[in-house]
Amino acid sequence: MILRIDALQAELPPPSEPDPAGAAAVQELLGGKFGEMSTWLNYTFQSFNFRSRQGARPFYDLLCSIATEESGHVELVSTTVNTMLTGASPVEDGAAPEASLAAVKGVGNPHHFIGGGQGALPQNSQGRPWNGDYVFSSGDLVEDLTHNFFLETGARNNKLKVYEMVEHPAARALTGYLLVRGGVHQVAYARALEWLTGCDMMKLFPSPRIPTDKIPECKPHLERGEHLKLYRFSERAYQEVGAVFNGPHPETGEELTVADEPHPEGAAAHDLPPQPAVFAPSAMPEEIGESRSSCAARRAFAGSRPAT
């Protein structure tokens, strides 16, 4: 089973100047071929399908640990898209159903406004849906790990390009964090291949050839050692992962370690305000607030009655 914690893995800034065109570009990191939905579901299916778990325990533990972290990366990219779309339509009372969406016609991804409530979608930067064909789960461990190394390399490529294209502070905070954590996963799969085959994967770093410490938004995470730690996302399980994830980091030479704590400390998500022009959570958000208090009143009333 998978436990859920109501926090983001990293802190993201609150909404500022909206950037719907930037949000459309960031979608590539969510539902693109090399996006977080792909890393999450590749490793998740590979872990579900893993045979001879006891015989190859450290590699199973590695896939499970990384798969769970990726689920939280999907949440981080989604939150970034939502943050960047906040305020892109007018929020004054009575804006809908006037021409309140006229200003976003032809800006970014129209589906963010028409098909959704200014929220993230399982799509790439062209608005095409994420596709189950992106999942590679051959059952052959060396093949799957080689695929995963390439997937993380493509993911790093796309993060670097989105970083270059989108200057919004939420996008920069996101890519800064994901470049560091995705870098850990790229190293982890390379190490796993080295243990299995004896090949020297460390010469491939950094791929693409841009040192991670060149990105200012990566620096706070590097200073906290986030480039060296693998989290297990479990209090007790997946302990054998340390048999694979160890040795010097290929870029810095520092020692790779499995974190004692199960997950990053994380941060609370900002409560994003209603966007009434797209009816999220309603064209009249104040009614939703009222229904919450009437639910609470009904619950209190029910609690006061004797049990039957």
User: What is the binding site for Mn ion (CB under 5 A)?
Assistant: 39, 70, 73, 182
CB of 66 to Mn ion, least distance (A): 8
CB of 182 to Mn ion, least distance (A): 5
Q: How far apart are the first and last CA of the chain?
A: 35
Looking at the DSSP bridge assignments, the partners of residue 123 are 129
Nearest to 241 by CA among 73, 75, 68: 68
Whose Cβ is closer to Mn ion: residue 39's or residue 207's? 39
Burial pattern 112-126, b for ≥16 Cβ within 10 A else e, equals bbeebbbbbbebbbe
Whose Cβ is closer to Mn ion: residue 39's or residue 124's? 39
Whose Cβ is closer to Mn ion: residue 104's or residue 178's? 178
Return the H-helix or E-strand segment holding 59.
helix 57-85
CB of 255 to Mn ion, least distance (A): 22
Contact indicator for 64, 47 with CB cutoff of 8 Å: yes
**Residue 10 and residue 2: Cα distance in Å, rounded?**
20
CB of 254 to Mn ion, least distance (A): 21
Whose Cβ is closer to Mn ion: residue 15's or residue 221's? 221
Contact indicator for 196, 56 with CB cutoff of 8 Å: no
CB of 90 to Mn ion, least distance (A): 35
Cα dist. 190→64, 166, 232 in Å? 16, 29, 18
Whose Cβ is closer to Mn ion: residue 88's or residue 258's? 258
Q: Assign 3-state DSSP to the chain and report helix, strand, coil percentages, each to 5.
A: 50, 5, 45
How far is CA 73 from its chain centroid? 2
Cα dist. 282→94, 214, 279, 293 in Å? 12, 44, 4, 16
CB of 247 to Mn ion, least distance (A): 21
CB of 178 to Mn ion, least distance (A): 6
Whose Cβ is closer to Mn ion: residue 22's or residue 182's? 182
Question: Which residue is at the shortest CB distance from Mn ion?
Answer: 73
Residue recorded with tokens 């989290």: 231
Whose Cβ is closer to Mn ion: residue 192's or residue 278's? 192
